[in-house]
Structure 1
Amino acid sequence: METVEPVGSVETEVEAVDTDEQQAARPMLRHIFKRTAASYTAPDPQVAAPASPVPATAAPSLSVPEQIQSFVFDFVGVAVTAISGPPRVPAGSNVTVRSSSLEITEGRNVPADWYYPEGEEPPERIILLQHGFLGVSAMYSYTAANLAERTNSVVVVPTYSSNRFVRDGFWLGDDQVYRATAELFLGDREALTASAQAAGYAARYGADVPLPETFVLVGHSLGAGVVAGAAGYYADAIKSTGAENHLVGVILLDGAPPENVLPDALDKLDGLGTYVPVLELGAPKEVRRVDAALIEHRPDMFNGVVLADGQHLDAMQGGTPLIQFLSYLFYGFSTAPNKAASQTLITGWVDDMFAGRIDASTGACEGDDCSGIYGEPGQTLDLPTPAGPTSAVVIGGSALAPITTAFQPMLATAPVAPRPPSDFALIRLL
């Protein structure tokens, strides 16, 4: 059955990656900012009091343009959540989805959706799937359900704030989130277990069944920064404590991590003394920093593929047609073969990661037992799917040599007011 994938909608991405997508974003962003600026009256900072005490280390007060942007981000986030509705699984799926809250750090709770596959035995694998900027977990419900069903894994999809102007800085693109995500999988994993139990884990598998220990991290767009950063901090903790490593792989879905996050994470992972695959499923773009980082750290290895005629939202699939249509309206409609191929590629790689079938010297699985699809750097892979044929080019080789031409991306505040260029923020609308 072909899935219907909504996600991506009005998601904007803070990242210097894709000039074409930034250009496509400008008209909508100008429209939003102009309408909001015209109707929004910024609160007087001398009068308005914070709802809760602000720690001494809190960020400086926001300027009026920043307050406007903060309002826009929050407004769009609420709208996306409302339009997305609750998470849904594809018709005929053997996966159950339940929602709860997740204490990501002490005293801070975020929404989380949990996907449980059927079966005689409880799953021994767990996957964290991370959304992109202004996305929410429900927008990835079909992708999460497919991962749960095809790899027999518990899948958790948390929703983080996408407002980069939040006073304490705890948002999707912030280092605090990377650390907190890593800590979910360290120690006794109390917060992760409590969230799963609140979402019916014990009722599904039994009160005495612990969460699986072995895990894979999957992140889309700016969410790729979360999983890459979390992988790096997890590797730090494992190396410093001597604890057993349970991270068996990371997958980036057309990733757009902040500039140094992926290279730093690869350095840390390579220092573990055990190979942890990091693979990218990409769409064509002019500047491919993710590919460049992977090739630099792991040359002449399989580091993933770029789908022919791919779109940024190929792998983001959910059950709300309206938000999916709005997403595709601004960023191009994914082809049915590429939508199907993306699911096949992701689930195959994840299954091989969990099974330990990926060779540390080649980055690929070889043999009859492989679930995933692999190739040599620069090789074109033919990908037959139930929806028709498509193809992909393996990252690396002359076919995908990284382009390093410098360019000046659009600043997040460009439609409102200038901001210092040191500010980390280049917008991609999903």
Structure 2
Amino acid sequence: MYLVGIDIGKLKHSFCLLEKETDEILVEPVFFENSKDGFNALLSSFKHLPQKDILIGTEDTGHYNLALLKFLLDRHYQVALINPVATDLTRKMQGGISKNDKLDTLTICDVLASNQRVKSYRITKVERFDLYEQKQLTREHHNLKEELNQYTNRLQKSIDIVFPEFNSLFKSKYGIVYMNLLKEFGSANAIAHADIRTLRKHFDTGRGKHISLTAEELKEAARNSIGFPSTAEVIQIKHLIARIELIKEQIAEIDKKIEKFSIQNNSPILSIPGISHFSGTSILAELGDIHNYSKPSQIIKYAGVAPLTYESSQFTAQHTAITKKGCKYLRKTLYQIITPVIQYNPVFRKFYLLKIAQGKGHRCAQGHCVRKLMRVIYHLLSTGTQFDPALLQ
């Protein structure tokens, strides 16, 4: 077996070639450009060797390795993606006090050559690139949602300063009239001094529907408001609303594309009540090829939802949290969907109530349901069967 260790950089990478059995370095660590010519130069260094006997390793970090990774996979080379923590630990165990790109290529080869039962790397396949765009879209959805929450929280802070009674006048926040009034006036002081006919124009939802609040009631509430007429807060409100509306448009655009991908995937996990096009696509994209996992516990561990075990001598911790050592996006999706899954599926509902009856807290009971859901997902994906709640009884 021949091992190729590649250390990734922005403008150039470095690599070395080592024979595993003899530990002989066939090609000393050397740099090559992050370009097509550089990639071809890399291949020319070991093109005389049997391709089936070559294992190429690189750290699974950043995005600078994507072009090289696809280049190698398209040519059917076997590529291992290594956890950067494993590389760092290997260097420290060897007593290394220096770190540079060339030395890292040898450390990567050492990780590949390790005989540990649990490997510190995973073999990647071309099929994973089919899910790359889906992963980027679902992660962007998560990121935009977080931004949206941040901006809406800041908006509420500003509203509490300029018109603290404003929210109580509406049955729900962020509707058409709600946002139009904030954009146009921004404070209780501006509404109180606005012409009533101008106010009425902003009560049109554009859908032929009317809200229970009237312009006269709003104006009266504004007159009696304890809000502080801050020019700075009014400007912030208008800017925040513009950002919120833009993010909502971006999320809608992304969700349309995600739904198209989901329909193309036609995954059996969509047959689970409570899993939408977005959540199903997110789970599939984050897990990748299900055949990379040999048992459900592996995807539970990958999601970071496995319970933490702590034992020392005669002590065993009875109450521990989940590990949270895994894919945060997958874990976030799972905890977002577990509530509707419990709500719409009697079997999961019964299991949740059982854990509550056993003295578990709400979040702990949800964790048990998440792990049960992961086992169901693993079965559906590995067998290609549709969800059947009768089989969970």
Same fold at TM > 0.5: no
Normalising by structure 1, report the TM-score: 0.24
Higher normalized contact order (CA 8 Å, seq sep 6+, divided by chain length)? 1
Normalising by structure 2, report the TM-score: 0.25
Richer in helix (by share): 2
Tell which structure's C-alpha radius of gyration is larger: 2
Richer in strand (by share): 1
